[in-house]
Amino acid sequence: MNASALIFIIIGLSLISYFSGRHRASVSAKSQTLIALPKHYGYMTAIWSGLPALLLIILWAMFKPAYLHEQIIQSLPASVILQAQDQLDLYVNSINLAIENGEPVEDPIMQKAMESYQVADSNSKWILTTLVFVIGLSGIIFSLTGALTKVQARVKVEKVIRIFLMLCSAVAIVTTIGIVLSVLFEALRFFEAVSFFDFVFGTTWSPQTAIRVDQVGSSGSFGAIPLFVGTILISLIALIIAVPIGLLSAIYLSEYASAKFRAIAKPALEVLAGIPTVVYGFFAALTVAPFIRDVGQSIGLTVASESALAAGIVMGVMIIPFVSSLSDDVINAVPQAMRDGSLGLGATQSETIKQVIIPAALPGIVGGVLLAASRAIGETMIVVMAAGLSAKLTANPLEAVTTVTVQIVTLLTGDQEFDSPKTLAAFALGLMLFVTTLVLNVFALHIVRKYREQYE
Amino acid sequence: MNNTETVKNSLKKRYAREKRFQLYGRMAVWTGFIFLAILLFDIITKATPAFQATEIFLDIPLDPVTLELQADTQLDEETLRAIDYAGLIKKSLRQAFPEVKKRKDKKLLYKLVSSGAEFKLRDMVINNPQLIGNKPLSLWVLADDDVDTFYKLETVTSRIKEQQIGFIDKLKQDDRIRTSFNTTFFTHSDSREPEQAGIRGALMGSFWTLLVTLLISLPVGIAAAVYLEEFAPQNKFTDFIEININNLAAVPSIVFGLLGLAVFINFFGIPRSAPLIGGLVLSLMTLPTIIISSRAALKSVPPSIKEAALGLGASHMQTVFHHVLPLAMPGILTGAIIGMAQALGETAPLLMIGMVAFIVDVPGGFLDSATVLPVQIYLWSDSPERAFTALTAATILVLLGFLAVMNAIAIYLRKHFERRW
Amino acid sequence: MTTQVNGLDSLALRADDMATQNNSENLTADKHQDVEVLETIGENILENPKFSTRNVNVFYGEKQAIFDASLDIGQNEVIALIGPSGCGKSTYLRALNRMNDTIDSCRVSGQLKLDGEDIYDKKMDPVLLRARVGMVFQKPNPFPKSIYDNVAYGPRIHGLAKNSTDLDEIVITSLERAGLFNEVKDRLTAPGTGLSGGQQQRLCIARTIAVSPEVILMDEPASALDPIATAIIEELIDELRENYTIAIVTHSMQQAARVSQRTAYFHLGKLVEVGETNLIFTNPRHQLTENYITGKFG
């Protein structure tokens, strides 16, 4: 049977278990004092019936494709297996397609492979079904025995729930590990084809791949420096816009503005953070970039139609709330005593802010700027839509540059094999991106936390 | 004291500096406002044309002779499908413009009407075979997007020809051309032709994807928050979990896409472009948000309530689930809504897992191929036709509308149901 | 030091005497009994005061904190403001240098004059006022700057030093007058926050002195300090009296007795009694004052 039917069966068996257990417990309650409510006994037997079976199905569903894939490969004769990776994958793909479509095939090797697939598939299904039934029924049987009421049902149930809760919170760890492993794994495969040194220090980015089987990654150059420079250029422009505006806004709103103005202005600036980045990208590509190009051309400068300036400005606008929100928090955290001390000496408010408050809040502000920078570096949609694909190595904001994130998208949204160095390069770039933003974030949070301790 | 004089002298400059500083601050805030205003104004202006569609009034002959039907032919679906509806439309155009003789001009004439009109006609006839008769069917049909752009914006582009402008003028004189509300936008899904393109597919795709995200991230997020806030012991493992959650909140979204690609698609074999995988990736991204806001909500429940429950003999878990959690629900839901709003606008990771193909069918479930609203915006913004620009901007307005509603609900929840202890 | 200790002893004896007396006889016939204080008792008005305040009312929003206080502060005297917690002493003090301006909901009415000029007049610049009337706060609040920069902050913003040597001189003199110079002269560039509590407070005093004010307002300056640091501060106040007029809010009656010449007693926002410090503590004229001094409340 297929997975959905099995799930229904599990649910059914668990329900039966629940009612059976609960009933048994309430019957026992008449002759002895129970240590838990009948419903707890019901839950316990239901969990017994259902949980292991459910886990089994989930594991089966997760690992079945890989297992069956292996089966197919193993059933193929040596001659086929020794082909180059691409050919083999193509072969296996056609087998998979044939299985999906249910069409008969002529090639006897494929036929044999299909048969062994089907055998393995149905075998696994049978084993699964049997196990599910055994587990489910055992729960019901247990609920009918006298041993039921001797168990501390509520305690046990709560233990199971607690483990479930802990696992849920461990999802965060699993996700991080998943990200690190998946990116690292593929990136390492990339570095087998292209050396790390060439990647990180190379200055030409032109990701071509072999067309013929025997050309292994030789004709493409994967020097990522233009990408790094492009990313930094656009992020820098974004910060140049966001930091002054964000910081001055935060200062004005927390030190000078009336409560009413602040109540309207602060949410208005937060709106900037809530607008999806694809909207910013649209705005950048269809309005800002042509505008800059036209203005530039009217003063006689050559401006690319996808200039770094356009992308940078719009990205800066998007980042303003990051800087202003965090700065606002740290400025408010400076104790009033410090302001009183300065004002008491006869300083004006701007002198107090410039000479006492901002220096006191500086670590927090720097932390905020670093977080904003990390956001700018990792931003994708604005640059995909408004920055170019040409990996030019330049510092001129009026030219078109490309960034790490743009290349990741480009490399992975074309029609290509998963294993070619081209797509693996995306993972290598992803690794660089992840590490950089991680370092920036950790550093920034460290600074902000240290600063908070100072004042608490 | 002579110092007073010195101080007095310094005051003028200092107050000037004070005023300037305040001015800079105010300018900064207003710059932010102005950016926001320009952005919204630009999008609204670009979007307005998309809400109107141009239509042309045609009298379409449906007599059996023109339809080439035998007298006793059964009007079953097969026969009805076989009719050359495109030809009928062309004929009605010729009838409206009898003076057009040259082949080249006739081709331009046919191009006035959208290529999808024939399907609309066909569907009408199949649903109502009684229409076949000697009375011609008078119908407003969609105009082609070039005509639409020209008629609404009155700009001459290279895509519209002299003669066509003449045809349109005559239609205007005969009151045979109008703009009406563009229902196609909401009822159709993606199409190569702008006038037939709509967001229905993307809307349903977003719906299914968000549903998956909600179903996964809300329970897991609440469970994790409950554990971390109530049950977790103070040890290195717990610290490690918290560090991970904070880091995940700041990882660029595209990295989650890579994760989805490498693990969910390649290792677990979940079909690309399915809302299931989109939802899985998005729920991983939303999880930190929900965990952090749920923890804050749980923390705000006063310990006195917990102590009261424990004092009555409730176990820790019963206290949490019967008392703390219900009281923290408004805050948790607020955080969940905000998390969903963020997920609704995400694009980059979904590009990676393949929700970027050209998908015409409306997805009906978790495993059908689908696209989402922001990806639709991304795809359309690449197209050169001006009509697609308007559609993209209109889609953006729909997306922003949803976000505004969701955030408004969250704020309402927060104001009305969060008790102040 | 010895005289102070004797003074303390005699004060305690007197207080005990009064308590026993009140319990046995009704000696309070000539004491003012009204809990409703209608008029301030004692010498609250002076000739040629430094500070002259009349009918001062201070409101925080709807809540009134000071009720119709009229008090003069004389040149080069130390006046102590005493009373139970929350009765408006700090509020009154802060009204004298317009620090209440920083609180949005605070409203001050009445006449407050410094050397005859109304300090709440529209033409009076708070910045200028605060350069003339300095303040030392309850909890030491040095800036996160070096010791030197802390003291130099005031002169710098007001432009009081013509060159850096001038500034050095001001800083050193201020630190000396605050009794801190010898302890920090080798580490003027060290951060001010690295000093001990007592040293920090003296730094704050030095900071205030550096601007050459005429009046120094002190809001419980030693309440956050240990007894030794407190003693040092009290000695300092005595020395500072030579050059400055000082108003000090204090919780400690013994401290008021040690450092001040006149004392004003506030009770729930009303100025109840003002007089020479010795007399207030040995022969208070209002029942409320006596109750406070003998420890019946507060």
Q: In this structure, how many other beta carbons lie within 10 angstroms of the beta carbon of residue C176?
A: 14
Same domain? For B207 and B309 the reply is yes
Q: If you average pLDDT over residues A282-288, what whole number do you get?
A: 92
Please name the member of C127, C143, C145 whose beta carbon is closest to the beta carbon of A346: C127
pLDDT at C53: 92
B177 and B254: one domain? Answer: no
Distance, CA of A368 to CA of C84 (rounded, Å): 45
Strand pairing category for C270-276 and C41-42: parallel
The residue-averaged pLDDT of A43-60 equals: 82
- pLDDT of residue A213 exceeding 70: no
The answer to whether B137 touches B60, Cβ cutoff 8 Å, is yes
Q: Are residues B296 and B379 in the same domain?
A: yes
List chains touching A (3+ CB pairs under 8 A).
B, C
A418 inside 8 A of chain B by CB:
yes
Backbone Cα Rg of chain A: 31
Does position A236 have pLDDT exceeding 70, yes or no?
yes
Q: Is the pLDDT of residue A116 over 80?
A: no
B241 and B340 together in one domain: yes
Task: Give the gap in angstroms from C-alpha B55 to the nearest C-alpha of chain A.
Answer: 27
Q: Is the dihedral of CA C157, C159, C163, C165 positive or negative?
A: negative
Q: B129: burial class by Cβ within 10 Å (0-12, 13-18, 19+)?
A: middle
Q: Does C143 touch chain A (CB under 8 A)?
A: yes
Q: What DSSP assignment string belongs to A247-288?
A: HHHHHIIIIIS-HHHHHHHHHHHHHHHHS-HHHHHHHIIIII
Is residue C7's pLDDT more than 50?
no
Give the span between the Cα atoms of B154 and B178, in whole angstroms: 14
Judged against a pLDDT cut of 90, whether residue B108 lies above it is answered with: no
Q: Which domain holds residue B39?
A: 2-48
How would residue C27 be classed by pLDDT, with cut points 50, 70 and 90? very low
Best to test chain C binding among A340, A345, A355, A453 (most C CBs inside 10 Å): A345
The residue among A30 and B22 whose pLDDT is bigger is: B22
Instruction: Give the span between the Cα atoms of C163 and B5, in whole angstroms.
Output: 17
Residue from B324, B319, B245 nearest B287 by CA = B245
Chains in touch with C (3+ beta-carbon pairs under 8 Å) read: A, B
Q: Which residue has the tokens 């036209």?
A: A294
**Which tens digit of pLDDT belongs to each residue from B296-314?**
999 988 888 888 988 888 8
Amino acid at A205: W
Q: State the pLDDT at residue C23.
A: 47
User: pTM of the predicted model, to two decimals?
Assistant: 0.84
C131 CB neighbours in chain B (<8 A) are 3-4, 7
Measured between CB atoms, does C69 come within 8 Å of chain A? Answer: no
Do C159 and B9 lie within an 8 Å CB cutoff? yes
Q: What are phi and psi of C262, to 5 degrees?
A: -120, 155
- Total domains, chain B: 3
Q: Are residues B275 and B392 in the same domain?
A: yes
- Give, for C274, the enclosing helix (H) or strand (E): strand C270-276
In angstroms, rounded to a whole number, what is the distance separating the alpha carbons of residues B105 and B109?
A: 6
Pick the most confident of A313-322, B162-171, B317-326.
A313-322
Tell me the C-alpha distance between B130 and B121, whole Å.
Answer: 13
C residues 183-212 near A, CB within 8 Å? 204, 207-208, 211
- What is the per-residue burial (b if ≥16 Cβ within 10 Å, else e) of B208-246? bbbebbbebbbebbbbbbbbbbbbbeeeeebeebbebbb
Find how far residue A35's CA is from the centre of its chain: 46
List pLDDT tens digits, range B240-266: 888 888 889 889 999 999 988 888 887
Whether B251 has its CB under 8 Å from any CB of chain C: the answer is no
Name every chain A residue with its beta carbon within 8 A of the beta carbon of B223.
Answer: 164-165, 168-169
> What's the mean pLDDT in B268-284?
86
Q: What are B182-206's pLDDT values in tens digits? A: 888 888 888 888 888 888 888 988 9
Place of tokens 């102040």: B420
* Domain final residue pick, B48, B66, B84: B48
Confidence (pLDDT) at A212: 46
Per-residue model confidence (pLDDT) at position A454: 66
Judged by DSSP in three states, C110 sits in strand
Residue A229, C-beta contacts closer than 8 angstroms, at least 6 positions apart = A393, A394, A395, A401
Most confidently predicted of A120-124, B58-62, C53-57: C53-57
Residue C1 has pLDDT above 70, yes or no: no
- Residue of chain C with shortest Cα separation from B17: C157
B176-193 b/e (C-beta count within 10 Å ≥ 16 → b): bbbeeebebbeebbbbee
> In this structure, are residues B399 and B373 in contact, taking their beta carbons and an 8 Å threshold?
yes
- Tokens, residue B338: 């905000």
Quick check: A345 and C134 CB within 8 A? Answer: yes
**What's the CATH code of the domain at B213?**
1.10.3720.10
Q: Do A385 and B381 touch (CB under 8 A)?
A: yes
Which pLDDT score is estimated for C4? 42
Question: Of A65-74, A385-394, B314-323, which one has max mean pLDDT?
Answer: B314-323
Q: Give which of A338, B25, A329, B3 is closest to C102, Cα–Cα.
A: A338
A86 or A422, higher pLDDT: A422
Cα A180 versus chain centre, distance: 11
pLDDT band at residue A211 under the 50/70/90 scheme: very low
Residues 6 or more apart whose Cβ sits within 8 Å of residue B108: B161, B163, B164, B167
B115/B215 same-domain check: no
* pLDDT: which is higher, A417 or C103: C103
Mean pLDDT of A330-343: 92
Highest mean pLDDT among A58-72, A346-360, B54-68, B155-169: A346-360
Q: B284 and B346 in contact (C-beta within 8 Å)?
A: no
B35 with B61, same domain? no
- Cβ atoms of C92 and C265 within 8 Å: the answer is no
Q: What is the CATH number of domain C2-293?
A: 3.40.50.300
Nearest CB to C159 within list B1, B4, B6: B6
Average pLDDT over residues A401-410: 90
Cα(B211)–Cα(B256) distance, rounded to whole angstroms?
19
Q: Any idea where the domains of chain A sit in the sequence?
A: 3-151, 221-454
Amino acid A1: pLDDT = 57
Q: How far apart are CA A330 and CA A112, in angstroms?
A: 69
Contact B1 C125 (CB under 8 A): no
Question: What confidence category does residue B402 fall into, taking pLDDT thresholds of 50, 70 and 90?
Answer: very high
- The packing angle between helices A85-101 and A38-75, to 10°, is 120
In which band, very low, low, confident or very high, does the pLDDT at A182 lie, cut at 50, 70 and 90? confident
Number of H helices, E strands in chain C: 11, 11
* DSSP bridge pairs for C42: C274
| ipTM score assigned to the predicted complex | 0.88
Written as one string, the DSSP assignment of A120-141 is HHHHHHHHHHHHHHHHHHHHHH
Q: At what angle do helices A358-378 and A421-454 cross, to 10 degrees?
A: 170
In whole angstroms, how far apart are CA A238 and each of A234, A246, A265, B244? 6, 11, 21, 28
Averaged pLDDT, B166-178: 85
Secondary structure (3-state) at B63: coil
Average pLDDT, chain A: 83
Distance CA A224, CA A194 (A): 12
How far apart are alpha carbons B144 and B54 in whole angstroms? Answer: 8
pLDDT at A318 over 90: yes
Tens digit of each residue's pLDDT (9 = 90 or more) over B328-337: 988 899 999 9
Q: Does A306 touch chain B (CB under 8 A)?
A: no
| Residues in contact with B93: Cβ distance below 8 Å, sequence separation at least 6, in sequence order | B58, B109, B110, B112, B113
| C264: nearest Cα among C244, C283, C245, C249 | C249
Q: Give the single-character DSSP code of B271.
A: P
Higher pLDDT, C218 or A421: C218
Query: C101: which DSSP letter?
Result: G
- The candidate with the shortest Cα–Cα distance to C209, out of C253, C174, C255, is C174
What is chain C's alpha carbon radius of gyration, rounded to the nearest angstrom?
20
Check residue C28 and give its pLDDT: 44
The pLDDT mean for chain C works out to 85
Helix axes A38-75, A108-144, angle to 10 degrees: 170
Looking up tokens 């420079």 gives: A229
The answer to whether residues C222 and C234 touch, using CB atoms and an 8 Å cutoff, is: yes
pLDDT at C9: 47
DSSP A150: G
CA angle B339, B344, B345 (to 5 degrees): 105
DSSP, res B143: B
Answer whether residue C14 shows pLDDT above 70.
no
Whether the CB-CB separation of B399 and A276 falls below 8 Å is answered with yes
Q: Does one domain contain both B278 and B398?
A: yes
Query: What distance in Å separates the CA atoms of residue B346 and residue A278, rounded to the nearest whole number?
Result: 8
For chain B, give the mean pLDDT.
86
Model pLDDT, residue B217: 93
Q: How many Cα atoms sit within 13 Å of C262 on the Cβ side?
A: 21
Mean pLDDT of C90-115: 91
| CB neighbour burial string for C233-245, b if at least 16 within 10 angstroms, e if fewer | bbebbeebbeebb
Detail the DSSP E strand segments found in C168-269.
215-219, 245-249, 262-267
Looking at the predicted structure, is the pLDDT value of residue A343 above 60?
yes
Indicate the fold that domain A221-454 takes in CATH: MetI-like fold (1.10.3720)
Query: What is the per-residue pLDDT across C144-185, written as a single tens digit (0 to 9) for each?
Result: 999 999 999 999 999 888 899 999 999 999 999 888 999 998
Are B11 and C214 inside 8 Å of each other by CB? no
Residue with tokens 């120094």: C216
Structure tokens at A346: 């006869």
Q: What would the two tokens of residue C213 be? A: 């004010």
